[in-house]
Copies of this chain bind each other. A is one copy, B any other.
Amino acid sequence: MAPEGGAAISRALVEQIVRDVVTKRLGSPDGHGPSKLVVHPSARHMHVCREHLDVLFGPGHELTPERELYQEGNFAAAETVTLIGPRSRVIPNLRILGPLRQKSQIELAFTDAIALGLDNVPVRLSGDTGGTPGAYVMGPKGMVELHEGVIRAAMHVHMNPAEAEYYGVKQGDVMKLRVGGDAGVVFDRVHVRIDPASRLNVHMDTDEANACALHLARDIELISEKRGER
C-alpha cells in the first residue's frame, strides 16, 4: 500500500528512475544483458556420432552444413536418414544436425514417435538417453541399430551467464514460458542450460509449438519463479 501524503516527485524524475532500472535489467549497450528472447520450434532430427556417420554415409564422411542454426556453430546438415521403428514403420528424410556428438541421439515430438510406433519415448534432456528406446537408422551406405537414444527433448532455454544472472537462475533450474494468444499456454518446465557461447533462445518441439500456436502468438514471456523473490 502506498503511504498517503508522500512527497510529490516530478515526471522527469520518474522517467529517469524507470530508465535506470530498465537499463540495469535489460542490459547496457555494451551487450552484457540478455538479448531478445527468441523461441524456436525444433522439428524432429538426429544428432550423430563419428562411428555411426561412418556406417551411414561411408568412412570419413563429413557433414555438409546447409543452414546455420541460431546457436553458433550448430547447423542443419544436408544429410538425412530414414528412421525405422518397430513394426517396420518409417520416418523418411530425418534431418541430421551438426556438429558431430559423442553419442547418437534422435529427438522426436510425441506425434512423430506415435506415428513411428514408439509409445514409450520419455521426456529427457539432451544427452540423457539411458534406458530410452532405440531404432534402426538407414543411410545411403549402411544401417545402424541404435540400442537407445530416442527421446522427446524436454523444453529448454539456452542462455549465457549474464542472462542467467539477469533472470536469477542457475544451470538445471526450471523456468516458465508463457505464450499468449487464442491458444494461450504456460509451459511450466523450461530447463535452463547455461553456456558462455549461448544466445538467449527457447527450444520447443513441434507438438509444443503447435499446441500454443507459436506461429500466431502475440506475446511471449520467459518467467523465473525466483525473480519475484529478489
Nearest-Cβ distance from residue A210 to partner chain B, whole angstroms: 4
Q: Does A57 contact B (CB under 8 A)?
A: no
Q: Of the 9-residue stretches A29-37, A92-100, A182-190, which lies at the interface with chain B?
A: A182-190
Query: Is A186 a contact partner of B189 (Cβ separation < 8 A)?
Result: no
Chain B residues contacting A109 (CB-CB under 8 Å) are 111, 210
In this complex, which of A110, A186, A205, A211 has the most chain B Cβ atoms within 10 angstroms of its Cβ? A211
Contact of A189 among B123, B184, B205, B210 (CB under 8 A): B184
- Over the window 86-126 of chain A, the binary record of Cβ atoms lying under 8 Å from chain B Cβ atoms (1 yes, 0 no) is 00000000000000000000000111001000010011000
Q: Does A212 contact B (CB under 8 A)?
A: yes
Q: Does A77 contact B (CB under 8 A)?
A: no
Contact of A206 among B111, B183, B208, B213 (CB under 8 A): B111
State the number of copies, please.
2
Tell me which residues from 186 to 230 in chain A have a Cβ below 8 Å from any Cβ of chain B. 186-189, 205-208, 210-213, 215-216
Query: Is A123 a contact partner of B207 (Cβ separation < 8 A)?
Result: no
Tell me the dominant secondary structure on chain A's binding face. mixed
Chain B residues contacting A122 (CB-CB under 8 Å) are 182
Q: Of all chain B residues, which has the CB nearest A216?
A: B123
Q: List 15 A-B contacts (CB under 8 A).
A: A110-B211, A111-B207, A111-B210, A123-B213, A154-B182, A180-B188, A182-B189, A183-B189, A184-B188, A184-B189, A185-B186, A185-B188, A185-B211, A186-B188, A211-B212
Given contacts A186-B188, A207-B207, 14 further A-B contacts (CB under 8 A): A111-B206, A119-B215, A123-B182, A123-B216, A152-B183, A183-B208, A184-B187, A184-B188, A185-B187, A185-B188, A185-B211, A186-B186, A205-B211, A207-B211
